[in-house]
Amino acid sequence: MKQESKETLKKYAVCFAIEIIIAFLVVWSNGFFTESVAVNIRIIADACFVAGILMTLFAAMMYISGEGALIGIGFVLKTAFLTFIPMGRTKQERYIDYRARKLNEAKTRSNSHILLTGLIFTVIGAVLTFIWYAKFYNV
H/E segment holding residue 11 = helix 3-29
The list of the chain residues with pLDDT below 50 reads none
**What's the pLDDT at 122?**
96
**What's the pLDDT at 119?**
95
**What's the pLDDT at 114?**
92
Cα 118 from Cα 52, distance rounded (Å): 4
**What's the pLDDT at 35?**
73
**What's the pLDDT at 55?**
95
Residue 56 to residues 19, 111, 114, 122, 124, Cα–Cα distance (Å)? 11, 10, 7, 8, 14
pTM here is 0.77
**What's the pLDDT at 1?**
60
DSSP category for residue 14:
H
